[in-house]
Structures are given as structure tokens and as C-alpha cells.
Structure 1
Amino acid sequence: MKRIGVIGAMHQECEYYREQLSDTRHEQYLDIKITHGRHAGHDVCLLESGIGKVNATLATEWLARSFQPELIINTGSAGAIKGGARIGDFVFASQVCHHDVDVSPIGFAYGELPRLPVFYQVRKKWLNLLNEVANELNDVHHLGVIATGESFIYQQHQVELIRQRFPAVIACEMEAAAVAQVCHMHDIDFLILRNLSDVAGEDAQLNFMEYIEQAGRKSTELVLTLLAAISSD
């Protein structure tokens, strides 16, 4: 049995997951909805954080201090940047970065903050297990860099700028690097897995509204299967 934290930004990314937990109880921290429950023998704490890095930071810090999980999973939706990736595919982060951090004029790499790395690495043991689960489910998935920023990416020039700065990027969203940074500072393992609700720069805002519920449900199903696999492992 493990203590596992799960963070999703939006109601559509959390509601189905909330329904699948047993022995639930609820509380609230600021505007963050918190659900305690159990699944596959694990103690699970699900946080509906709200959109953006500040909300994700608050949620992750609350988990680190109040729940003390062994693993934090950040899940939900993302916009594809990798060529050939389609709505409904999964993206798994091997690394996460901030695509909107720039203190390069004073000697740092683009995306780097003082005393912190440009890229936050996901532990291979969790990635290997996640890949095994996705392969068993025949889910199409892509592995690479997921880039985080405080903007919804819907214009092609935004996509090209992110690609130019981070050539290995496969998707973008608005919370993952904040989750990873807090986990890094607390030495907590993390996983970032997202289902694609849109392709960044290609009618992204319209597709996002149409497919966000599908992305949330598919992400939840994968997380639930992963938790069962962690029990078996």
C-alpha cells in the first residue's frame, strides 16, 4: 500500500476519478477541492487545483506537507506539439520544463531558475511501469518533454517559439512544471501523464472545449489502471 497524491486542474479532469474512489471524505484548502479515498489498496488524495502554476504549486505543497505521499501524479489534458500526435493520444513526460521562464540576460539558460534545473526528470521506474500499462491497454502514447506556461497555446507562432527553445517538446499545458518543481524541492517522486484535448495552434480553443471531458475520463482510466499495477508490482 502506498500514499499517492493525484492533481488535476479542472472539474472535467477530476470528477470521474472522484467517483471511482471508495471510502471518500472531502475537505477544502483555499479554492482547492480535496478528496481522500482508496483505490487498489492505496490511500489516495485527489486535489482539484484550479488552472495555472500558482494553483498547482499550492496543491502540491499542501500534499507534500499534509498528506506526505510517496508519489504525486499530475493528470488531465494537454495540447499536442509533437508532429503526428492526435487528440485522444496520451503524452507521458520523461522531463518537464517551464517554457515561459527567462532569466537568460543574467547568465542562465532559457527555462532555468537560479539553483534549479531547466528540466525536471521523472524516475525511470515509474515511466517503465506507466509504459507497460499503456501498452497493455493499447493506448497510443508519446514520451518526451512536456512544457508548462501560463498561457493557453492556440497560435502557431507560440508553438514554433516553444519548439525552437525546446526541440524535444511533445506537448504543452499549464501546471506540470510547477508540480515537478515542488516535488523536486521536497524529494517526492512524480509522474506527469496527460491525454490530448487539442493540437496546439490548430483550432486548439475549439477542440479543447469539445474534448476536455474525454481527456479527463481517459486520463482517469489510465491512472486507475496504473494504481492497480503499482499494487501488483
Structure 2
Amino acid sequence: MAIVSALHEELAAVLALMPDEQQKVVGGRTFWHGHLHGQEVVAVLSGIGKVAAATTATALIERFGVRRIVFTGVAGGLAAGVRVGDVVVARHFLQHDMDASPIFPRHEVPGYGRSTFEADADLTARLARACEQVLGDMPAQLDAETLRSFSIGAPSCHEGLLISGDRFVSTTAESRALCDALPDALAVEMEGAAFAQVCHDYGVPLAVVRTISDRADDAAHVDFPRFLREVASRYSSAIIETLLRMT
């Protein structure tokens, strides 16, 4: 299994669980190969954006022979009810900035005849179960000041469409435009759809979970480093550990 994180703080939390990791540098990226709960794993940072994500996914498959990939990261919530501190487990993915019109319909990926790529149903179902289990206990694991600062109450797990693009969405106008164009979208980030396309090409199962750090609007400029350190990294390590215990 490959365990991929978008940001260093999240990966560090996962690496802390691995007793025997060894480093290997491929394509300018450091991959950690070892074991977690008795399973052979490769852990790596994805890099930011779709090109970096696609390169990382390809290296995992071609150089390390991974047979399934689990991605953890943060995202901006779009759909009503997707709140800070919730998680989104992707069922399918779309590039919101893909536009080869008028030759192809907006959002369709040229050469594929489709705009969306699917997550692996079985691996995603297990990941969702792990998330539900972790979220039930997580508020008790966070201190009262953290919960108050980020207005986290009873976090929920949402499943559905995750959209990706090569820009950080952080204004209400952008968020509303995405909701109007893609009303089924739950959250927005910068890597998931690229991983999904590469995994589709190679036939490798993929599951993605994103912790909601903001609402992708004018209030999105929260204390992001603190959120990563005190919330997202704890989510990531707990979810991955729970998933591996279930597998």
C-alpha cells in the first residue's frame, strides 16, 4: 500500500507510526519504505498541484509496484453542511479547471470521453468506515481551545464528488462559481483528480480522504499551520492506523 499525504505535517504523523522506514529518492522525491501494523507500505509527499501528483502516482506504481494507494490531505468545503473539521471521502473525482472546449465538452478529459474518474469502491468503503470510527472519538482527543478556535463540534464524514484544480480557491466568488458549475461537488483541492486519472490508467485501486480546513471562501485564511498540526495531522494518522487494522 502507498500512503500519500499532500503536506509534510500529515506525512510526519504517519511516519511516526512506522518503526523501520528506509528512504529512497526517486525523481527528486523522498519515498519511505517500511511496515505499518505488519503491512508493507510506501509513504511519500504528493507535491502540490496536479502535475506533481501525477508524477508521484506514476513513480509509486512503476518504481515501487504498489497495488493500492490511499491519499490523505486537506480541502476546502463547498457543499452546504461540509464544515471545518469534517472529512470528505471521495467516490469520484473531476478536474474543475479542465476546459478543452469547444473541441470537447467542458471538464471532459480529452482522449477519455469522460470528465470523472472513480475511486475504488471496496477500498473507499473501508476508508469511510475507518473515518466514521475515528471521527466518533476525535473530539475527545482534541483540546477545548482547538475545538473552539476552529468551531469543531461533532465532525461528519461525507462521501461523493471531490474536485481538483491548479489554484487555491480562497474567495467566496470562486467558491460560488464552482458550486454553480458543479453542484454535486463536496470539496475542492489540488491533487486528487490527477491521482485518480493515473490510477485509472494503471488499474490501481485508489481511495482519498480530505479533512476540511476551511470553506474555500473569503474566510479561508485561517491559522493553517495550526490546523495542520493540531487537527489534520491527528486525523490522518488515526485514520490510516484504523484502516490498516481493519485490512
The alignment's TM-score, normalised by the length of structure 2, stands at 0.86
C-alpha distance after superposition, 1:186-213 (max 9, x if no partner): 1100001111111110421224343122
CA apart distance, 1:105 = 1.0
Q: Does 1:225 align with 2:242?
A: yes
Offset of 1:5 from its aligned partner? 0.7
Unaligned runs of 5+ in 2: 137-154
> Is 1:128 matched with 2:125?
yes
SS at the partner of 1:115? Answer: coil
1:68 is matched with which residue?
65
| Cα 1:54/1:104, change in 2 over 3 Å | same
The residue number in structure 2 matching 1:27 is 24
How many residue pairs get matched? 226
Q: In percent, how many aligned pairs have the same letter? A: 29
1:18 aligns with 2:34: no
| Distance in 1 separating the partners of 2:102 and 2:17 | 48
Secondary structure class of the residue paired with 1:226: helix
Structure 1 residues 109 and 210: alpha-carbon distance in aligned structure 2, compared to 1, 3 A threshold: farther
1:111 aligns with one of 107, 113, 120: 107
Task: Select 1:5's aligned residue among 2, 7, 10.
Answer: 2
Give the drift of 1:104: 2.1
- Residues 69 and 205, structure 2, Cα contact 8 Å, conserved in 1: yes
Q: CA deviation at 1:50?
A: 1.8
* Aligned-pair CA distance for 1:12: 1.4
Moved over 4 A (4+): none
Amino acid at match of 2:158: H
2:214 pairs, out of 176, 189, 198, with 198
AA aligned opposite 1:197: S
TM-score, reference length from structure 1: 0.91
Q: Which runs of 5+ in 1 are unaligned?
A: none
Question: In the alignment, is the contact (CA less than 8 A) between 1:91 and 1:141 conserved in 2?
Answer: yes
SS at match of 2:210: strand
